[in-house]
């Protein structure tokens, strides 16, 4: 059951300082490796940072090496993210020296969240073509909506890509606060459909004085255009493919419910 309630990690000054230092450290390697960020924004929800390298996706939670049980590491959340996306879960042990935070490990500073062994992301990249998961298809839509909103004067308040949580994006513009439910489909020419409980989500949003909008998108690989003759087929899209997206149109989440 989807819900509009989103519970991010608790942000403390120590966590934010450590997160910033970890992000700077990983960003140098992401840049030099030709990788790309998936998430490098606060507040985090499941992973603290994530990036794509080759055919693999890496999800990271930072850890205070001197206080590993301080609540920063929540492996159930990380495991959910990794399972959803067929990704690789990592911990990044950090240590504060004076006012600064530094990675404990060498290189990328990452360890496998299950085995606790050091990992080098380059060693895990292969030439195997990997099919995009439903989470990745959904993430494409969320990123498209974020980009569109930012380019049209909206300020993004928060966003997340959990398929079981709605809305995906909260944003405000000219004093108007709104949640955007996003659905993306890779089946034939079909656009993503509203969740079954769209009316309930809209009612809860309106009760708080918020707007409730919906964006349904369709996605395909760049060499697989939206052919109506293939509407009965689910498109198989390989990870890191160039993509086609349908035009983005913002609609009321529940048209029969007025704010």
Do 13-124 and 134-252 have matching folds? yes
Q: Hey, where are the domains in the chain?
A: 13-124, 134-252
**Lowest-confidence segment of 65-79, 85-99, 116-130, 213-227 by average pLDDT:** 213-227
pLDDT band at 191 (very low <50, low <70, confident <90, very high): confident
Alpha helix stretches (DSSP H) within the chain: 13-33, 75-85, 121-124, 134-151, 198-207
Q: What are phi and psi of 250, to 5 degrees?
A: -95, 125
Residue 208 has pLDDT above 50, yes or no: yes
pLDDT band at 4 (very low <50, low <70, confident <90, very high): very low
Q: For domain 134-252, give its CATH number from 3.30.1490.190, 3.40.50.2300, 3.90.1170.50, 3.40.1350.10.
A: 3.40.1350.10
What CATH number was assigned to the domain covering residues 13-124?
A: 3.40.1350
**Lowest-confidence segment of 20-29, 158-167, 169-178, 230-239 by average pLDDT:** 230-239
pLDDT in tens, 73-111: 999 999 988 998 889 999 999 999 988 999 999 999 999
DSSP code string of 101-118: EEESSSTT-EEETTT--E
Residue 86 is given by DSSP the state T
What is the chain's length? 259
Rg of the chain over all Cα atoms, to the nearest angstrom: 19
Q: What is the pLDDT of residue 84?
A: 87
Nearest to 58 by CA among 109, 134, 7, 128: 109
59 and 46 Cβ atoms separated by less than 8 Å: yes
Mean pLDDT along residues 42-54: 90
């Amino acid at each position: 059951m989807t819900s509009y309630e989103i519970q991010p990690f608790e942000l403390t000054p120590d966590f934010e300082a450590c997160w910033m230092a970890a992000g700077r450290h990983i960003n140098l390697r992401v840049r030099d490796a030709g990788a790309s960020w998936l998430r490098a924004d606060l507040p985090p929800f499941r992973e603290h940072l994530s990036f794509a390298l080759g055919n693999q996706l890496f999800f990271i939670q930072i850890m205070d090496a001197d206080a590993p049980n301080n609540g920063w590491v929540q492996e159930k959340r990380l495991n959910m993210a990794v399972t959803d996306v067929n990704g690789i879960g990592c911990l990044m042990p950090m240590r504060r020296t004076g006012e600064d935070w530094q990675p404990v490990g060498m290189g990328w500073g990452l360890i496998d969240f299950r085995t606790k062994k050091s990992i080098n992301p380059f060693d895990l990249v292969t030439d195997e073509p990997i099919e995009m998961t439903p989470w990745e298809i959904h993430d494409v839509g969320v990123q498209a909506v974020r980009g569109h909103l930012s380019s049209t004067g909206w300020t993004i308040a928060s966003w997340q890509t959990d398929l079981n949580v709605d809305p995906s994006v909260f944003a405000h513009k000219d004093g108007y606060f709104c949640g955007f439910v996003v659905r993306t489909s890779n089946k034939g020419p079909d656009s993503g459909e509203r969740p079954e409980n769209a009316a309930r989500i809209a009612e809860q949003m309106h009760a708080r004085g918020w707007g409730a909008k919906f964006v349904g998108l369709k996605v395909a690989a760049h060499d697989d255009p939206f052919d109506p003759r293939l509407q009965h087929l689910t498109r198989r899209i390989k990870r890191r493919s160039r993509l086609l997206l349908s035009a983005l149109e913002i609609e009321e989440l529940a048209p029969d419910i007025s704010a």
